[in-house]
Amino acid sequence: MSLWQEKDEASMPVSQAALSDVVFKIECRSLPVDHAAQLTDTLCKKAPWLADTACAGIHPIHVAGSQNGWQRPDAESGVPLILSKRTRLRIRVPQAQVAALIEALTDTTHQLDGHNLVITSGRAAPLHNAATLFARFTIYESNPDSEDAFIQQVIKDCEAIAYHPTKLLCGKTNYLSTPAGHLAARSLLIADVPPEYSMLLQERGLGDYRLMGCGILIPHKYTGAV
Same domain membership, residue 118 and residue 135? no
Rounded CA-CA distance 117/27 in Å is 6
Q: Which of 39, 46, 57 is nearest to 214 (CA)?
A: 57
Percent helix, strand and coil across the chain, each to the nearest 5: 25, 35, 40
pLDDT tens sequence across 190-212: 999 999 899 999 999 999 999 99
Q: Which amino acid is at 193?
A: V
CATH number of the domain residue 86 falls in:
3.30.70.1890
Say whether both 122 and 25 belong to one domain.
yes
CATH of residue 139 = 3.30.70.1210
34-46 pLDDT, tens digit per residue, is: 999 999 999 999 9
pLDDT beneath 50, residues of the chain = 9-15, 66-70, 223-224
Rounded Cα distance, 61 and 37, in Å: 12
Whether 101 and 174 map to the same domain: the answer is no
pLDDT of res. 62: 80
Do residue 118 and residue 172 come from a single domain? Answer: no
Q: Which of 57, 35, 11 is nearest to 202 (CA)?
A: 57
| Domain that residue 176 falls in | 128-219
